[in-house]
Copies of this chain bind each other. A is one copy, B any other.
């Protein structure tokens, strides 16, 4: 019986369309010969779309997205100097709105230093960890305000909101993932000596969930100390679980130490599978190199592998296709020649050819 994989594709702005095209190319090739029909519905959304239409994410589009199996997302965002677009609007009203509305509570970000990839660290060692970043709470809830704006008496607040419900599900997911890994270790990152209330909720939750996973070790690091370890001993990490803001910071830094965010993939996961999960490279839209075939599509391609792994729910066909993509990427990056300039499509082709 033929299965259908009903994909929503949001290429977005800047280099988004170029890297997404390669991700789709590789995804299709990885499923070649399998009894899976891949259906793509493309959505025009992002800064460019807003400039033309004034729309960020209309309700009917959101409803339509809800019916798909998964979303492949490129990148969105205006050029830094473009003053026609209110700053941060697209990020909040499109990207964050998707994450929040579709309840993408786990923002999953693997970090691996591939053989052959240069790290800015002199002695990086082996790096292979995942960050389970909370995706729907914390300082990202948009719960701030301002009073007397623009006067010398202005006061501006930002409220980080953390719930037992929201924290527990991501902590349990982190332990579950750790239990399936070799080293079986969870590190909670927070700043509980200062952010007492949120911090204690996270700490207590980790202690409680840890009891359900006796085979998984856990420890704790303040976020400042965690950034130190990311450059002095990144090999110490296996699974990091942390809040939305700390996760944002740590995963960009992790991307940098593993050779650049051109390789960093991510999944925004709806754990209940009540809505489609969304897969996107960690990098942004890089307007400066857009349309020039200069972007590295590897992060987008690895995001497609995360997508297959997630939608397959352990189905052998999908799991094998995801594993093949990862192996092809591994082989490709291992033999990349320093200084060699390959186009975006050329890299996509090379990875597809290795499948």
Query: CB distance B162 to A155 under 8 Å?
Result: yes
A275 at the interface (CB under 8 A from B): no
A18 to B139 Cα, complex, angstroms: 39
A155 to B168 Cα, complex, angstroms: 12
A49 at the interface (CB under 8 A from B): no
**A228 partner, pick from B140, B192, B223, B255, beta carbons under 8 A:** B255
Stretch at the interface among A38-46, A61-69, A87-95, A335-343: A87-95
Total A residues in contact with B, Cβ cutoff 8 Å = 66
Stretch at the interface among A20-28, A51-59, A196-204, A315-323: A196-204
Query: CB distance B231 to A249 under 8 Å?
Result: no
Query: CB distance B92 to A194 under 8 Å?
Result: yes
Query: CB distance B150 to A161 under 8 Å?
Result: no
Stretch at the interface among A119-127, A179-187, A296-304: A119-127
29 CB contacts below 8 A, A to B, read A88-B192, A120-B121, A120-B122, A121-B231, A139-B158, A142-B194, A144-B195, A144-B196, A146-B197, A146-B200, A152-B164, A153-B163, A153-B165, A154-B163, A154-B201, A155-B162, A155-B164, A156-B163, A158-B162, A158-B197, A194-B248, A223-B248, A224-B249, A227-B227, A227-B253, A228-B252, A228-B255, A231-B253, A231-B256
